């Protein structure tokens, strides 16, 4: 952290507000154990070209203010391709701050990034996190003009539980009934910002080893993922029905956006078969999708070389579907 401190002291103080410097320093402190210092320096170098609006309340549920951060390129004109990032942690832990370095490649591409927090299992059981992330997408729709979000170029992504929530955020139809509580939605007139009545859609979903069938994990989950699933679903007698309701595989249909999944074939937390089943189901109904298999890869923790290859594939995927720059 000495390098980061020196970089902040010498280069950032005149570009960012005191609050922004503090938030970025906190992000780097949380994230430094998982990334080499070169990546930290890259983040700082990119961050000076961004305006950070931290801890914006996008919804209030169960007495909890749900917050997100917005990273906007300085001087951007007009609508900008927008990444909605959802952190992982088995629906029981994790934070948006600890995940900030993960979306560095999108900052380098000049995208706007919306980094979303949601209710964890110790605050509310399923389907709360799914409801929250759908409301975050509604917030993006409602505030597109103010923040320069391109509503035609919204990509939702996340890892593990965040991968699952990215899939549900991008795949759920209105008939699922998991967004009616969102402020400013088509069914309500909550006075906390501009209303929006459009059907929620994203341009693409990028799923990093996310859960696709919670019923399967509930019945057959290997140790850790089974425990996470039970913690999130709770002990309600209808938890099996809830598990089906929040499983992405329950919503496979022809009119979905393109989906890119990344999964290690030796993942002991979320079985690789979860990614394969989604890939096969999407192929069956004709949805454009791709499964990147990391040979001998676990639950994340991929090498620098593997990550470089993955992001090359992601950029090609975005170009293929004419998303972003």
For domain 51-320, which architecture applies? Answer: 3-Layer(aba) Sandwich (3.40)
**Cα-Cα-Cα-Cα dihedral sign, residues 211, 213, 219, 220:** negative
CA triple 1-305-290, angle to 5 deg: 120
Task: Give pLDDT tens digits for 58-109.
Answer: 999 989 999 999 999 988 888 999 999 999 999 999 999 988 888 989 999 9
Split at pLDDT 50, 70, 90, the class of 21 is very low
Q: Residue 190's pLDDT is what? A: 45
pLDDT on residue 197: 66
The neighbouring-strand residues paired with 158 are 86, 207
Q: What is the mean pLDDT of residues 164-170?
A: 98
Contacts of 63 (CB under 8 A, 6+ apart): none
Residue of higher predicted confidence among 185 and 155:
155
Domain map (residue ranges) of the chain: 1-48, 51-320
């Amino acid at each position: 952290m000495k390098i980061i401190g020196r970089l902040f002291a010498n280069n950032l103080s005149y570009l960012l507000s005191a609050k922004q410097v503090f938030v970025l320093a906190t992000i780097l402190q949380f994230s430094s154990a998982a990334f080499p210092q070169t990546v930290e320096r890259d983040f700082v170098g990119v961050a000076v070209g961004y305006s950070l609006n931290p801890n914006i309340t996008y919804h209030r549920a169960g007495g909890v203010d749900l917050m997100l951060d917005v990273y906007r390129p300085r001087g951007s004109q007009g609508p900008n391709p927008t990444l909605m990032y959802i952190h992982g942690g088995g629906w029981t832990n994790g934070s948006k701050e600890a995940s900030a370095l993960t979306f560095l490649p999108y900052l380098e591409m000049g995208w706007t990034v919306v980094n979303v927090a949601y209710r964890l299992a110790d605050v509310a059981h399923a389907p709360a996190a799914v409801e929250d992330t759908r409301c975050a997408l509604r917030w993006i729709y409602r505030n597109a003009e103010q923040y320069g979000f391109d509503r035609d170029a919204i990509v939702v992504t996340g890892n593990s539980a965040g991968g699952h929530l990215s899939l549900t955020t991008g795949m759920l139809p209105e008939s699922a009934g998991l967004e009616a509580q969102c402020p400013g939605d088509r069914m309500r007139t909550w006075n906390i910002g501009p209303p929006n009545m459009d059907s929620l859609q994203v341009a693409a979903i990028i799923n990093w080893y996310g859960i696709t069938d919670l019923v399967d994990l509930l019945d057959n989950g290997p140790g850790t993922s089974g425990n996470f699933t039970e913690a999130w679903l709770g002990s309600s007698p209808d938890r099996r029905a809830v598990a089906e309701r929040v499983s992405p595989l329950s919503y496979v249909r022809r009119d979905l956006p393109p989906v890119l999944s990344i999964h290690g074939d030796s993942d002991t937390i979320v079985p690789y078969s979860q990614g394969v089943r989604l890939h096969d189901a999407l192929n069956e109904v004709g949805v454009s999708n791709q499964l990147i298999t990391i040979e001998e890869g676990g639950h994340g923790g991929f090498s620098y070389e593997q990550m470089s290859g993955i992001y090359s594939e992601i950029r090609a995927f975005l170009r293929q579907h004419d998303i972003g720059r």
